[in-house]
Amino acid sequence: MVWETQDRLTAEPAAKAVLDKKLKADIKALCKLYPNKQAALLPILHRVQAKRGHLPDQALIEIADLLELSPAQVLDTAGFYDMYTRQKRGKHLIGVCESLSCELCGSGEILKALKKKLKIEPGQTTKDGKFTLITMQCLGACDYAPAVLIDETLYKTVTADQLDSILQEADK
């Protein structure tokens, strides 16, 4: 018996492109800011994620093609950093800091309360698609522990009692 290998990229029907003209132009502009285009990979992943909400496989393939990298190299980078997600996220991303200062100041209680309120575990999204809950490492606000980051807003010295109003404010 002979095993035949197939290149998944050519053996399967091509997926619909996810990078539109504008995004490709943004990527090309970002490449010009770096000594070589491969060096622009991190900001490009940020840009695509900001636009698409996550980094689907097809986006990684297209980025690899534009940067003359292998899809595996782009996937390795996207998978290494916490700030990139390959799963679709909710409208708002809630990050609870679980590093030492925050943990000592009660981030565990905050996380527990959020899990109960939102009825999800870290890494999951609420049924209505509004919130995705994750844990994060130090947010650089240790003197205001426990800290919670919702989208771009940092909430300091958070208590469980404040969570309802914080969630309301985040989803205004």
Closest C-alpha among 109, 89, 91 to residue 163: 109
Q: Is 72 a residue that touches ligand FES (CB under 6 A)? A: no
Q: Which of residues 112-151 bind ligand FES (CB under 6 A)?
A: 138-142, 145, 147
Q: Which of residues 80-99 bind ligand FES (CB under 6 A)?
A: 97, 99
Q: Is 19 a residue that touches ligand FES (CB under 6 A)? A: no
Length of the chain: 172
| Count of residues that interact with ligand FES, criterion CB under 6 A | 12
Nearer to ligand FES, 48 or 96 (CB): 96
Q: Is the peptide bond before 122 cis (omega within 30 degrees of 0)?
A: no
Q: Is 167 a residue that touches ligand FES (CB under 6 A)? A: no
Nearer to ligand FES, 61 or 146 (CB): 146
Applying CB under 6 A, the residues found at the interface with ligand FES are: 97, 99-102, 138-142, 145, 147
